[in-house]
Amino acid sequence: MRQDRNRDLGPFVPREGDERIICRCEEVTQGEIRRAVHDGMYTMAEIRRYLRCGMGLCQGQTCSRLVAGIVARELGIKPAELAPASSRSPMRPIEMKVWADEETDDSKVRRA
Amino acid sequence: MKRYDLIIIGAGPSGLSAAIEAAKRGMKVIVFDENARPGGQLFKQIHKFFGSKEHKAKIRGFVIGRQLLGEAEKAGVEVRLSATVIGLYPDKEVVVREILEPEEGTAGETSAKEAVFHYKGDAIIVATGASENMVTFDGWTLPGVMGAGAAQTLMNLHGVRPGRKVLMLGSGNVGLVVSFQLLQAGCEVVALVDAAPRIGGYGVHAAKVARTGVPFYLSHTIKKAEGTDHVTGVTIAQVDSRFQFIEGTEKHFDVDTICVAVGLSPMSQLLKMAGCEMDNSGKGGGQIPVVDESGATSVPGIYAVGDVAGIEEASSAMIEGRMAGIRVAEYLGFDDKAGADTAFDQNEKALEGLRQGMFAPGNRGKKIEKTEEGIPVSENLLTHGFVADDEIERYPGVTHKAGVHPVMECTQNIPCNPCQDACPKHCISIGSNITSLPVVLKDSACIDCGMCVSSCPGQAIFLVNEDAGPGKATVTLPYEFLPLPEEGDEGYGLGRDGSRVCDAKVVRVRSSGAFDHTALVTIEVPAEYAMKARFFVKA
Amino acid sequence: MDESLRIKTHPILGDYTKGKLVHFTYDGRDMTGYEGEPIAAALKAAGVMVHRYTAKRHTPRGIFCAIGRCTDCVMVVDGEPNVRTCMTMLKEGMKVETQYGVSSKPFADEKQ
């Protein structure tokens, strides 16, 4: 859903729990996420790129729901109104050497 | 690139069930699963399942898992393990990271060689399941705070207790069932806590935890996990109706483990990536694909079944899987419409059976005041985990008779009826409506065989003899812990709330193959405790 | 180390089928576990709670999801960092080390 970028969110007011880690992988706190919204990051995609939350090893498995809740609350909307971040391959952590060395023939033997 | 008639992502209950139906109809099916073992979460489920025969009721989850694997093998399903699907594309192509056979001379190397392979299917079924939700509190990243699923994995798959003293957050079925499993594994559960004002899961699951003495704290949540390098304690506090902490209500527990069971989210990213139309409204537990009754998404040939299409139970996931497998076979011409319709309708009926009662998907979040029979629901059960002594008599399964007779403390309408079939003397009736509360038929005589006690997945049936000699009564209760009490053991009878209510002596202990690891312990108690003592602890 | 977290006999599952007893090292200490069980299970049985310290804040982490999703239990295994110990099976002679950031070298400010 498109967000109204001209809306006035009011000043950033520190809140209890701002020091708490939300994205465990990239160690992003509630306060950082809330501040990012006030900095103009209104979508999950923007928040991800700005703070890297949800872009660590686990790819947002644990935190994406939590981050969406914080962003939505800051914007004064329901989490369901927030467009979810895009889904892209690879869905699980993979080493670049494996990702790039793509097997196109079936000559290699797979482990049963 | 290899081609298959059908590619299934996820070898859990729904994925395997879909694979079986499709393969039985002659399709070439492959199932990818990122885990080293198939079966999804089924092998961690060690309790007896609810439902009726067609839903494999009273069979333990891991046994159902074994049956499914056997069925899949017989049907010729290829299951590829440690194979992680990392991409799904709209033209029904999947990209899979697989482990290669180690080359000569590299044995002993930690990281097995991995490579990426491409597959194409004429149809795809996504059965990726769900992941656990989390709540945050101070100290939630400390080692010792873990998902309830993690505790379950450690105990039931690997035989390792997650800790010694555990606090459980979450009173849904996962929190209740895992609490019981922690007790079975020999852990101490210091408290079961939920921010909600009422217990979310089945009352019978709560009751079997409460009667062992685990206190329930509803309208409470975790304020802080304590410890510097790992969890050494936890503080909980009461919350108001707006979930704000109430000052001065803090309680501290010494624990080494905090388990979090606050719901599941569908792992639907692959479907979104493939361009399937998604429903982000939050119904179904999170972002779910828009599907029809056969699991078909908006992209022709791509289906979604099980928890990824909306959080439910394993029992319903298996049926959903079968329904999709049947329709996929028809879609690709492996079955005619008439044949598919018959099989589909049969499964649909079974699924409807499971989606009834107080906990039906349509009732999620609603407070139900009365049973289908018009009996008020026990308020104490919803807020403390057990039916109070002065509430229990109003349920139809609780009656008084001379001699040994079943007392069925089944007080909520859930789709479950194994007790009705278990009694060889037909003492118990549920009737054709699977969610009805069980009743004791007056004109039939109990032979004290114990089959009803062991068949009840909720462990809610007791055999009571209110007059077992002068001033004495006997109570036979289901017992799934070690060490098993022995005849002659002296101890205490615990009430439904887990408190010591009377002295008790074990007069009989029965375990047999027919009881499937639910032992029957008969205790002798003073006559006035016949309807009060519901658990036994040795002195 | 205390081995008492292993369940000897389970009321429903009976005895667990385990692979052969193998030796491995954890931060240089000799330990035993069973071949084919996750490294994390062997460490848990031995009472090890901390698997790593995070890169930014140097805070401890341990087993969190136990099914390969959250990647909190990663350690340095046979010299390779970011190995998910809940998904990687134990083998004879493995060298398992606490991970600091992405290496097995403790942070300067961390007491060992």
B35 touches chain A (CB under 8 A): no
Q: Domain C21-100, CATH 2.70.70.10 — does that match?
A: no
Beta bridge partner(s), residue B506: B523
Those residues whose C-beta lies under 8 Å from the C-beta of residue B363, and which sit 6 or more positions away, are B357
Give me the pLDDT at residue B102, please: 53
For tokens 């699980």, the residue is A92
ipTM of this predicted structure: 0.95
Residues of C in Cβ contact (< 8 Å) with B154: 41, 44, 63, 66
Whether residue C30 is predicted with pLDDT greater than 70 in this model: the reply is yes
Residues of A in Cβ contact (< 8 Å) with B239: none
B469-474, Cβ contacts within 8 angstroms, sequence gap of 24 or more: B471/B526, B471/B527, B472/B524, B472/B525, B472/B526, B472/B527, B473/B524, B473/B525, B473/B526, B473/B527, B473/B528, B473/B529, B473/B530, B474/B404, B474/B507, B474/B522, B474/B523, B474/B524, B474/B525
The beta strands (E) that lie in chain A are given as 21-23, 28-29
Angle between helices A64-75 and A44-51 (to 10 degrees): 110
Check CB contact under 8 Å for A111 and B265. Answer: no
What does CATH list as the number for A21-100?
1.10.10.1100
Q: Given 3.50.50.60, 3.90.70.10, 3.20.20.70, 1.10.3720.10, which CATH number is that of B134-262?
A: 3.50.50.60
Two tokens, residue B510: 């029965």
Residues of A in Cβ contact (< 8 Å) with B87: 89-91
Express as a percent the part of chain A with pLDDT over 90. Answer: 53
In whole angstroms, give the CA distance from residue A75 to residue A92. Answer: 30
**Contact (Cβ atoms closer than 8 angstroms) between residue B243 and residue B250:** no
Give me the pLDDT at residue B106, please: 43
pLDDT tens-digit map of A36-59 = 999 999 999 999 999 999 999 888
> How would you list the strands of the sheet with C80-84, edge to edge?
C29-34, C21-26, C95-97, C74-77, C80-84
Query: Using CB atoms within 10 A of its CB, is residue B347 exposed (0-12), middle (13-18) or buried (19+)?
Result: buried
Whether residue A8 is predicted with pLDDT greater than 90 in this model: the reply is no
Give me the pLDDT at residue B367, please: 87
Beta bridge partner(s), residue B89: B93
User: What's the CATH superfamily of B2-130+265-354?
Assistant: FAD/NAD(P)-binding domain (3.50.50.60)
Give me the pLDDT at residue A108, please: 54
Check CB contact under 8 Å for A24 and C69. Answer: no
Give me the pLDDT at residue A36, please: 97
B517 touches chain C (CB under 8 A): yes
The phi, psi pair for C29, rounded to 5°, reads: -85, 140
Give me the pLDDT at residue B113, please: 76
Domain locations in chain A?
21-100
Contacting partners of chain A (3+ CB pairs under 8 A): B, C
In whole angstroms, give the CA distance from residue B287 to residue B148. Answer: 22
B102 touches chain C (CB under 8 A): no
Whether residue A112 is predicted with pLDDT greater than 50 in this model: the reply is no
Interface test with A, best of C58, C70, C86 (most A CBs within 10 A): C70
Q: For residue B100, how far is the Cα from the chain centroid?
A: 35
User: pTM of this prediction?
Assistant: 0.95
* CA dist C106 → B227, C49, C53, C74 (Å): 21, 17, 9, 15
Nearest by CB to residue A103, choosing from B115, B280, B282, is B115
Nearest by CB to residue B34, choosing from C11, C66, C68, is C68
Closest residue of C to A26, CA-based? C56
Nearest by CB to residue A110, choosing from B86, B98, B287, is B98
Two tokens, residue B373: 């029979």
Give me the pLDDT at residue C110, please: 55
Using 70 as the pLDDT threshold, list the residues of chain B that sit under it.
Answer: 101-112
**Contact (Cβ atoms closer than 8 angstroms) between residue C47 and residue C39:** no
**Contact (Cβ atoms closer than 8 angstroms) between residue A45 and residue A85:** yes
Those residues whose C-beta lies under 8 Å from the C-beta of residue B108, and which sit 6 or more positions away, are C91, C93
Domain locations in chain B?
2-130+265-354, 134-262, 389-538
Query: Using CB atoms within 10 A of its CB, is residue B278 exposed (0-12), middle (13-18) or buried (19+)?
Result: middle
pLDDT tens-digit map of C86-103 = 999 999 999 999 999 999
Residues of B in Cβ contact (< 8 Å) with C77: 110
Residues of A with CB under 8 A from a CB of B: 17, 20-22, 24, 30, 61-63, 65-66, 79-80, 83-84, 86-92, 94-95, 98-99, 101-104, 106, 108-111
Q: Is C69 left (phi over 0), alpha (psi -120 to 50) or beta?
A: alpha
C75-82, Cβ contacts within 8 angstroms, sequence gap of 24 or more: C75/C39, C75/C51, C75/C99, C76/C103, C76/C104, C77/B110, C77/C39, C78/B109, C78/B110, C79/C104, C80/B110, C80/B111, C82/A57, C82/A93
Give me the pLDDT at residue C109, please: 65
Check CB contact under 8 Å for B115 and A91. Answer: no
Instruction: Report the 3 state secondary structure along B429-494.
Output: ECCCCCCCCCEECCCCCCCCCCHHHHHCCCCCEEEEECCCCCCEEEEEEEECCCCCCCCCCEEEEE
Task: Give the containing element (helix H, strand E) for B504.
Answer: strand B500-510
What DSSP string describes B204-224? HHHHHHHTTTPPEEETEEEEE
For tokens 């390098």, the residue is B229
Among positive and negative, which fits the CA dihedral B250, B251, B254, B258? Answer: negative
Nearest in space to A29 (alpha carbons), one of A63, A59, A2, A79: A63
Q: Is B5 helix (H, G, I), strand (E, B) or coil?
A: strand
Tell me the pairing of strands C74-77 and B428-429. unpaired
Two tokens, residue B385: 């985990």
